[in-house]
Every structure is written in C-alpha cells, then in structure tokens.
Structure 1
Amino acid sequence: MRIKSMITTVTAVTALLTLTACGGDGSESPALGGISGGNEGVPQKNGGADGSAPKSGTGFKGLPKAGSMAGAARLINGFTKCDQVSPEKNSSEAPDAKYGATFSVTERGYCGRRNVTSIFMIKDPKAFQTAYKAEVDKGEEGGNVNSGPIIGQDFATGSESEEAMSALLSPQSGLLMLNCHAGFNPPSGYRKEPALVKGCVLTDYYKD
C-alpha cells in the first residue's frame, strides 16, 4: 500500500510540472507581444478565434481576420516590428497611402521605425480587390508582376522592407499576397488560389 501511495504522489507531481512547463496559466504567447488584449490579431482559422493559422488551400475565407487596427498590428508584430501604431506616417518613404473610399479603406495605421509598415482596415474586401485590379489594369501599380498588398479578411498591409514582406508571408502568419497581374506565374510549389475578384489570385510568392 505504501508503494502504491508513493507512485500516485509521483504521478501527480509529474503532471503538475508538465502543466506548468506548457504555460498552463493561460498567459499570452510572447511571439505576439507589444499590444495586448483578447484574441484580436491572432491568426484565425476560417474567421474563428481558435488561435491557429489557417490551413493552406482554404482561399480567402482562410485568411486571418483582425477585427481592429490594434488586432492587425498585433498579428503583424508577431512577424515584423509593429509594436506602436500611429495614424500618421513618420516617413516620406512609407508605402503608398492612396487607398481611399473606392478601396473601402476605413482606417490607416503606420508602424515600424527604420522600415515603415502600412496597415489599411477594409470594410468591403471585394471592393478593395476590385479597385486594386483596376489600378493594375491601368498600369498604375508599376511593372513588378511579383508584388502586391498582403491581405487578411479585413485588412491589407505592406512594408518598404523586403525582409518584412517575406516574413509576413511565412506559413505561420496565414496571410497571403493579392496579385492581379495577368503575367503572374510563380514557381512550382507556391500557392496560387482564386481571390474574390476574377483575374486576381492569393499567393505566398513575393519577389521585390
């Protein structure tokens, strides 16, 4: 009986230590540090709040949904520096902020220090994609067929840093780039899924 009691005690202590080591106190993951509160900004699978990144091949509905500027900044900060957001850009080199009413943009934010990242909250994602494609068709988006805004379900983002753009397209982020260039043809193995607008695709391929 004494041996059985000792085994039970050891088992209970081991379980407690395992729970503590795994962060059983419910604390927030430090990888998403900088801005706190709720599940906003955590990569959400198909719009849910389970904290998991969307699986590949799920298209637009698999993209993360931020819910607010703070949520978008928190998600972005998990992959590139974006711990302080300002409604005013602090650099003349900030990515283009012309997205306006026709793009269904409701709010702008800027973060980062040496390399500025822009965030645009979007009310109607299909309107945003339609307006972006119209600009591409007019040749107003330049000649780089391997670039475009990085999007979630309710926001778009872009950085003047090539490293930041690549980091935001990592599989863990769940984000994808909107590409509406007719000549876009990524190498094999990269995602190329239909967007909400015909002639546009969602991809994880980017080349500056």
Structure 2
Amino acid sequence: MRIQQLITVTTAALLALTAVTACGSDSESTALDGALGNQAPAKNGGTDGLGGFDGNGKAGAPGLPKAGTMAKAAQIVSTYADCSGLSTDPNDDDFFPGDETYDQKWGVTERGACGKGTRIFMFKDLKTFQARYKAELDEDRKESPNKGHRGKFLLGQDFAVLPDQKPVIRNAIKPGGLLILNCHPDFNPPSGYRKDPALAKGCVLTNYFED
C-alpha cells in the first residue's frame, strides 16, 4: 500500500514538473521571437508599426515611418524641411489646383500644406495609393514616355509627401527617412541604392534621386 502511494505521488510530481517546463518553453520561445524580430504582422501593416508588411502580410519596405495623423506627419516632415504653418484649408494659396482628385480615386483622407510648398497626403491604404499612381503614370507615358523616370512621391506607411524643393527630397531619403515611389519601367538606380519592390506590381521604393 505504501509503495502504491509513493508511485502515485511521484507520478503527480513528474506531471507537474512537465507542465511547468512546457510553460517555460513557450515563454522562452516568445522572447526569442521578439529578439529576432519574428513578430506577427500588425493589423494595419508593419511589425510594431514600422513597416515590412502590409495588411496581408506581403513584403513591403522595412522602416518606413507611420504617422497616424496629419500633425504627426508634419512633425516627421519637419525633420527634413521647414513644415511651419501647417494648413488643411484647401482655399489656402499653398494648395495646388487639382489635388482634390486624389481624395476619392487615391483613397486620400486628408491633405495638408506647410513650409515652402510642401504638400502632405494622408491615405487609407498604401497599396491602393501606389497602384493608382502606377495606373495614371502608365496613361501619361503614352504621350510622354520619360515621365515619372525620377519617381514622384516620398512615401511613409500612411502618408505621402510632395516637396517643392530638391534639398527636401535629398534630406528625406537619408537612412531612416522616406523612400521615393518609382513606377517607371526603365528605372535602374546605380548599385548600392535601394530598389525595394513596392506593393503595386511594377513599382519600387528607392533612396536614389536623380537631380
């Protein structure tokens, strides 16, 4: 009888130890995934909001900044250029005629202007914005084949920037900054520059700017 009780107690102790070990393994595995950057894609794109995936888990451009609001986008832009006097009033002189077409067709939710001719576009979906630019560029290139060879928009995860000055572009594409959306089929930057596949087929994101 005593032997049977000893066996029962020993078995229970082993089962408890196994359960504790299993829990420890899960915690260690989770910590290791975090250290290696193996996080699950965030709901709105990116791992922890820093890029790398879109909402469908497809590869994007790692490290693109995410704003969330126009105020935050302007704050990001101000690290590259003058973005004082931010306005979202389309009647202001800083707004360009025709920019309102971006609102519905491109999924733009808010437009702003600041500094010396810098325009900011907040949008719903990065892939939709890229695809729309590619579609319109393809139409324009039927008459002007070289149009768009330099690219156009500076992109973050949820906003785009159109500066009016070249120094702004050069500052913005430094490491850790924004990238230029380029959808021209003949675009081929020198070696050493980024040419990351964009979410729209036929487009890339690059840090090469041709003056």
User: TM-score of the superposition, structure 2-length normalised?
Assistant: 0.66
Residue of structure 2 in register with 1:108 after alignment: 111
Q: Distance in 1 between matches of 2:159 and 2:124?
A: 8
CA shift for structure 1 position 47? 5.2
Residue of structure 2 in register with 1:86 after alignment: 87
* 3-state SS in 1 of match to 2:93: coil
Q: Distance in 2 between matches of 1:159 and 1:73?
A: 12
User: TM-score of the superposition, structure 1-length normalised?
Assistant: 0.66
CA shift for structure 1 position 195? 0.5
CA contact 1:47–1:63 (8 Å) conserved in 2: no
Residue of structure 2 in register with 1:196 after alignment: 199
Point out where structure 2 has 5 or more consecutive residues left out of the alignment: 1-45, 53-58
**Which runs of structure 1 show a deviation greater than 6 angstroms over 4 or more consecutive aligned residues?**
none
Letter in 2 for 1:48: D
How many residue pairs get aligned? The number is 155
Letter in 1 for 2:48: G
* 3-state SS in 1 of match to 2:160: strand
CA contact 1:111–1:117 (8 Å) conserved in 2: yes
Residue of structure 1 in register with 2:176 after alignment: 172
CA RMSD of aligned residues (A): 2.6
CA contact 1:47–1:62 (8 Å) conserved in 2: no
Residue of structure 1 in register with 2:76 after alignment: 75
Q: Distance in 2 between matches of 1:161 and 1:101?
A: 27
CA contact 2:122–2:160 (8 Å) conserved in 1: yes
Larger radius of gyration: 2
CA shift for structure 1 position 96? 6.4
CA contact 2:94–2:113 (8 Å) conserved in 1: no
CA shift for structure 1 position 67? 0.5
1:205 partnered with 2:197: no
Letter in 2 for 1:143: K
Point out where structure 1 has 5 or more consecutive residues left out of the alignment: 1-45
